[in-house]
Chains A and B, each alone.
Chain A
Amino acid sequence: MLKIADKEFQSRLFTGTGKFSSSDLMEEALLASGSELVTVALRRVDMNNTQDDILTHLKHAHIHLLPNTSGVRNAKEAVFAAQLAREALETNWLKLEIHPDPKYLMPDPIETLKATEELAKLGFVILPYIHADPVLCKRLENAGASAVMPLGSPIGSNKGLKTIDFLEIIIEQSNVPVVVDAGIGSPSDAALAMEIGADAVLVNTAIAVAGDPVAMAAAFKLAVQAGRMAFEARLGNKGNFAAATSPLTAFLDEF
């Protein structure tokens, strides 16, 4: 079972709420995905309205909300947004996203680290979205992040795990769960992320813009389960053994 901060999750598939053609379809797809953690962009929610369309469609006992700070450009704005979210949505969980770059939405590592330090002091459970940078991940962990969310490829690109070599290092070194976020375009990408040992994946665009989002959500659910099962069953090594030269241990028999 996956544990982040004090919460346990049966499902290792996290999902998002953006880009669906309707809230009804979104709700149906999220239910088909089995996801228990769903990220919501704060800027899209009407926080003064308890009947907000997105929020009403997310009211299910097993679904926890993960507000994200998408849209903020620096640590200061992120801390402000986080406090608003905590009050409005009554959760101290936060997906910290700071991307000052409007074109590729690349996360800003310096502002993200700063914001994590501040938010940790304010008692937030922080899941920062970042580039697949192993050193940054360790710095965030030290700063108090409860998980790290490195990207697989540019957000919304559906290009899959272009950063796989770095994701592997991050997974190997991390003391907190690693959630691969952004770029996962197909169930096989999600399965691959799970096979290399990611603790969870976050998928939004690939489900929302699929021909049949509900069927695609179900496919992701199975892919994540298959990938996790493969990881636990231990994958074989792809490399070859070095060709035998003269035996290295024969000397041991000569004593």
Chain B
Amino acid sequence: MSFRAQFELHDWNEVKQSIYSKTSADVETALHVSKRTLEDFKALISPAASRYLEPMARLSRELTQKRFGKTIQMYIPLYLSNECTNICTYCGFSLDNKVRRRTLNADEILKEVEVIKSLGYEHVLLVTGEANQTVHVDYFKKALDLIRPHFAQVSMEVQPLNQDEYEQLIPLGLHSVLIYQETYHQEDYRKHHPKGKKSNFNYRLETPDRLGRAGIYKMGLGVLIGLEDWRTDSFFTALHLNYLERTYWQTRYSLSFPRLRPFSGGLEPKVEMTDKELVQLICAYRIMNEEVEISLSTRESEKFRNHCIQLGVTSISAGSKTNPGGYAVEPDSLEQFEISDERSPAQIAEMIRMGGYEPVWKDWDNVFV
């Protein structure tokens, strides 16, 4: 069994219709019942719930503090490569984008690591495009060998791999893998991924199952907000999360909500998501799921991030560069997308403290590897 079987039981249009027909009464039920179902989640992300933002925010904050206390985890991305053999309509690294390509070698990786370490980080997220000729499992193995000794926690956001490849990487200290479906709308998925391995919707959809079977400690899910109706996409993410939590019950889960950001020659979002709607979505996930980690990247604005740490978010990045070599080796190479919050990690940590929360740089140590 994999998620695909469950996924195929749901029709996109029916789900969408059912979310948009939720009423105030459904939202109030969702807020007040003792146990919440996916139907409640639909109510919480529905247009009808937009009038309940403040009670949702209060409940979300209460539940988040109950589980996580007043802490925010700090992480930073390290882009290893911008080589990519896929075409994705929304991405600066897309094959049809004529930019100089670069994959960091061992020396370069260590230079980047040095800068990131000096910022205080213990949790690094390795990012690449999909270029299986150069950036493959052997490259990742070497990268992990180099990087792992310098950090308590290493995560990865790279192309989907096979189960046995994950099984090779986990013992080397790979702690978590983020794998976004981008959109659960199959036809739109095809439109946005016309070429390359990524155009295989089902291979991507089943990646969390492969990760779960491989025994990953933590995995991150999400969609790229702006490609399709975010409410419907978020329902499918919740459905996926729900399935994974029950099936791979030893794994932890995180969610993020990347909104389409400008990049050179970029795609206009098909669907706009306002800040209010993003707050609604964050709170809805938290009310539905007390345990899931919720992270917010530097795609979001300063002001928005300042407030969101109160609302349900549990981890944020700061000082991020979204280009390979961006920290030390080649600061001016092309970014994958523009970041919005430009503050330094120290400034962000200060902002977190001012809000009455504690920035946590290290919360994991794998003593076995």
Q: How many of chain B's residues have a CB under 8 angstroms from any CB in A? A: 24
CB pair A242–B29 under 8 Å, yes or no, is: no
> Does the CB pair B55–A252 fall under 8 Å?
no
Closest to A171 in B: B35
Residues A244 and B34 in contact, CB atoms below 8 Å apart: no
Max count, chain B CB within 10 A of own CB: residue among A175, A234, A247? A234
Per the bound structure, the CA–CA distance linking A148 and B53 in Å amounts to 39
User: Which chain A residue has the least Cβ–Cβ distance from B245?
Assistant: A173
**Complex-state Cα separation, A222 to B58, whole angstroms:** 39
A237 partner, pick from B34, B303, B307, beta carbons under 8 A: B34
Q: Say whether, besides A242-B58, A242-B61, A242-B62, A252 and B275 are in contact (CB < 8 Å).
A: yes
Tell me whether B168 is interfacial, beta carbon within 8 Å: no
Q: Is the CB of B34 within 8 A of A238?
A: yes
Contact status A255-B54, CB under 8 Å:
no
A234 touches B29 (CB 8 A): yes
Task: Give Cα distance in the complex from A77 to B62, angstroms.
Answer: 50
* A236 beta carbon closer than 8 Å to chain B: yes
Task: Report the separation of the CA atoms of residues A248 and B55 in the bound assembly, to the nearest whole angstrom.
Answer: 9
Chain A residues near B247 (CB-CB < 8 A): 175
The verdict on A51 contacting chain B, using a C-beta distance below 8 Å, is no
Which chain B residue has the least Cβ–Cβ distance from A242? B62
Which residues of B321-341 have CB atoms within 8 Å of chain A's CB atoms? none
Interface pair A247/B55, CB less than 8 Å apart: no
Whether, in the assembled complex, B276 has its beta carbon less than 8 Å from a beta carbon of chain A, the answer is yes
Closest to A135 in B: B249
List of A residues within 8 angstroms of B275 by Cβ: 252, 255
A159-174: CB near B (< 8 Å → 1, else 0) gives 0000000000000111
* A161 to B58 alpha-carbon distance, docked (Å): 32
List residues of chain B with CB within 8 A of the CB of A172: 35
| CB of A172, distance to nearest CB on chain B (Å) | 7
The CA-CA distance from A197 to B36 in the complex, in Å, is 12
Q: Name B30-62 residues within 8 Å CB distance of A.
A: 32-35, 53-55, 57-59, 61-62
Shortest Cβ gap from B3 to chain A (Å)? 13
**Whole-angstrom distance between the Cβ of A93 and the nearest chain B Cβ:** 23
Partner of B33, one of A234, A242, A248: A234
Q: How far is the CB of B85 from chain A (nearest CB, A)?
A: 38
Which chain A positions have C-beta within 8 A of B34?
235-238
B307 touches A248 (CB 8 A): yes
B227 within 8 Å of A (CB atoms): no
B32 to chain A, nearest CB (A): 5
- Give bound CA distance, A241 to B58, whole Å: 8
Is B246 an interface residue when CB atoms closer than 8 A count as contact? yes
Contact A248 B58 (CB under 8 A): yes
Q: Mask for B276-287, Cβ within 8 A of A = 1, else 0?
A: 100100000000
Of A173, A241, A244, A252, most B-chain CB atoms within 10 Å:
A252
**Residue B310 lies at the interface, judged by CB distance under 8 Å to chain A:** yes
Q: In the assembled complex, which residues on chain A have CB atoms less than 8 Å from the CB atom of B174?
A: none
Interface residues as binary, B240-253 with A (CB distance below 8 Å gives 1, 0 otherwise) = 00000111010000
* Residue on A nearest B61 in the bound complex, by CB: A248
Min CB gap A233→B, angstroms: 10
Q: Please tell me which one of the listed residues A235, A242, A252 contacts residue B53 in the complex, with CB atoms under 8 A apart.
A: A252
Q: Report whether over half of chain A's contact residues are helix, strand or loop; otherwise say mixed.
A: loop
Bound-state CA distance A244–B55 (Å) is 9
A255 to B62, CA, bound (A): 26
Residue with the highest number of chain A CB atoms closer than 10 Å, among B29, B53, B246, B249: B249
A248 contacts B249, CB within 8 Å?
A: no
Q: Which of A216-250 contact B (CB under 8 A)?
A: 234-238, 241-242, 244, 247-249
Q: Is A241 touching B55 in the complex (CB atoms < 8 A)?
A: yes
On whether the beta carbons of B59 and A248 are closer than 8 Å, the reply is no
**C-alpha gap A174/B247 in the complex (Å):** 9
Contact partners of B311 in chain A: CB under 8 A: 248-249
**Chain A residues in 8 Å Cβ range of B62:** 241-242
> Contact between A173 and B249 (Cβ–Cβ < 8 Å)?
yes
Q: B59 touching A241 by the CB < 8 A rule? A: yes
Out of B29, B35, B54, B246, which one reaches A249, CB within 8 Å?
B54
Contact flag A236-B57 (CB < 8 Å), given A173-B246, A242-B62: no
Docked CA distance A172–B303 (Å): 37
Question: Chain B contacts of A235 at CB under 8 A?
Answer: 33-35
Q: How far is the CB of A135 from chain B (nearest CB, A)?
A: 8
Cα–Cα, bound, A127→B32 (Å): 34
Contact A249 B57 (CB under 8 A): yes
Question: Do B54 and A237 touch across chains, with their CB atoms under 8 A apart?
Answer: no
Known: A173-B246, A252-B275, A252-B276. A247 touches B54 (CB 8 A): yes
Seen from chain B, the residues whose Cβ lies within 8 Å of a Cβ on chain A are: 29, 32-35, 53-55, 57-59, 61-62, 245-247, 249, 275-276, 279, 303, 307, 310-311
Chain A residues in the interface with B (C-beta under 8 A): 138, 172-175, 197, 234-238, 241-242, 244, 247-249, 251-252, 255
Instruction: Supply 8 further A-B pairs (C-beta < 8 A) apart from A197-B35, A234-B29.
Output: A173-B245, A173-B249, A234-B33, A241-B58, A241-B59, A241-B62, A251-B303, A252-B275
